[in-house]
Amino acid sequence: MQFVYFILLGALAGWLAGVIMKGRGFGILGNIIVGILGAVVGGFIAGLAGLGAENLLGQLLIAVGGAIVLLLAISFVKKSA
């Protein structure tokens, strides 16, 4: 059940990051995939910073932050290629 929760949270984070980062998204499916990967990135960055989230809102904010970082990195690499 934890895995399904993680996928749903990542999908929501990807959608929100796509809305926040207008013009840098990759469509609904691409943003969902980026959101799931961004949740991992956000969790890693938050862990390095000593931050943690106990509730759904905190976890969502960390996942959205990670997805935004990932969208920025992908768009930067895409522009330079």
pLDDT tens by residue, 25-39:
677 788 778 888 988
CB distance 63 to 9 below 8 Å: yes
CB distance 38 to 67 below 8 Å: yes
| Residues in contact with 75: Cβ distance below 8 Å, sequence separation at least 6, in sequence order | 24
Residue 7 has pLDDT above 80, yes or no: yes
pLDDT tens by residue, 9-68:
888 888 888 888 876 667 778 877 888 898 888 889 898 998 888 888 988 999 999 988
C-beta atoms surrounding 48 within 10 Å: 8
| Residue ranges covered by each domain of the chain | 23-80
| Residues in contact with 19: Cβ distance below 8 Å, sequence separation at least 6, in sequence order | none
C-beta atoms surrounding 80 within 10 Å: 6
Task: Supply the pLDDT for residue 24.
Answer: 60
